[in-house]
Homo-oligomer: A and B are copies of this chain.
Amino acid sequence: MIRVAIFGASGFVGGELLRLCAAHPGLEAVRLFGDSRAGQAVEEVHPHLALAYAGARIEAYAGGTSLDDIDLVFAALPHGQSQSLAPAILERGIPFVDLGADFRLKDAAAYEQWYGEPHQAPELLGAFVYGIPELHRDAIRSAAAVAAAGCYPTATILALKPLVDAGLIDPASLVVDAVSGVSGAGKGLKDSTHFNSVSESLSAYGLLTHRHTAEMEAALDAQLLFTPHLAPMNRGILATCYGTATGPMAADAPLQALRTAYADEPFVHVTDQAPATKWTLGSNAVQVTARYDARTGRVLAIAALDNLVKGAAGQMIQCANLMLGLDEGAGLSTCGVYP
């Protein structure tokens, strides 16, 4: 068994990594780092994992904590923290899959622009491959470190990339209107994630300035206006994407471009229905569709996924499987938990 350390093990993504590792034939989560809950039992922090992790505890990570017996590191930490963590892991040559935003942008200046603080480890930016297997499978296979893409970018990029690549839409014209479940905001206590703020409500947030914009623009080589929304549900991302068509085309030309691009992808389902986030709940699947609107000359593309799986922990496992030479789908399911 590959011995795995998880940084951020007490959070939602940490819990999801533990759930997926428990079902994985080759990975075993042996070190669970989570400073705020250090010393507590998994049963207490994640009661939904009580039986599978009976006796296991969250522990603190200090500078000198040994990682000698670790074969793989997952990190799901607030942005900024991976910059100080990464050197120790990379020096030891331990495969590292990071979910933070720290190493997703290739350009330290862009990082500073969107995140408002200078990058602390710009020399390591080149060591990371952007973690969407459908785009960079071969690079991930040979990477020392992967910066797994975020939830909004994964949905948006998978919906739009084949359409941009096929020249069907003008990359300067993109509008992305996306909706997330509440778990995307993490376990921290905020007015905006209080049940009574969210339930029976729909609202936008981060108007004009959401940081994931940079990541999407980089991956698509495009300019886009991105508006995230919060919906009263636990999980799920729905990205509804608009672009100006480069010219008249068949109504199903965008759908065909998606079918072509994803014909052999194990986790992408191209459908002519309008996908629902619920179809993907708990699974690593993405559901995508697209069509051309002759009336307005626009292309519409939609993607749905589970922000904690294909948008986080599942994608991290998928990347790790590639890095380690395991079956790409090991430990991952395409079946949603429905209803």
Which A residues are within 8 Å of any B CB, using their own CB?
12, 15, 18-19, 22-23, 43, 46-52, 175, 177, 179, 181-183, 187, 189-191, 193-205, 207-208, 223-225, 227, 229, 231-236, 238, 240, 242, 266-267, 269, 271, 273-283, 285, 287, 291, 293, 295-296, 298, 300, 302, 304, 333-339
Contacts and interface: CB of A to CB of B under 8 A. Distances in A.
A223 B240 CA distance: 19
A225 B293 contact: yes
Contacts of A281: 48, 200, 337
Contact of A302 (B191, B204, B267, B282): B204
A200 B200 contact: yes
Nearest to A234: B339
Nearest to A281: B200
Nearest to A276: B203
5 contacts: A50-B271, A177-B242, A195-B198, A195-B199, A202-B231
Given A199-B339, A238-B202, A47 B287 contact: yes
A287 B201 CA distance: 13
A276 B202 contact: yes
A274 B199 contact: no
A163 to B, nearest CB: 15
Given A23-B335, A49-B336, A179-B179, A231 B231 contact: yes
Contacts of A187: 194, 196
Contact of A337 (B236, B266, B337): B337
Nearest to A270: B50
A296 B176 CA distance: 12
Contacts of A273: 47
Interface centre among A46, A48, A187, A334 (most CB of B within 10 A): A48
A19 B200 contact: no
Please give me the 7 A-B residue pairs with the lowest Cβ-Cβ distance, nearest first.
Answer: A48-B336, A201-B278, A196-B339, A203-B276, A189-B189, A177-B177, A51-B334
B51 A203 contact: no
Contact of A291 (B201, B208, B285): B208
Given A195-B197, A197-B278, 6 more contacts: A47-B287, A175-B242, A200-B277, A202-B304, A208-B291, A337-B337
Nearest to A184: B196
Contact of A208 (B197, B199, B295): B295
B232 A238 contact: no
Contacts of A193: 194-196
B175 A12 contact: no
A113 to B, nearest CB: 11
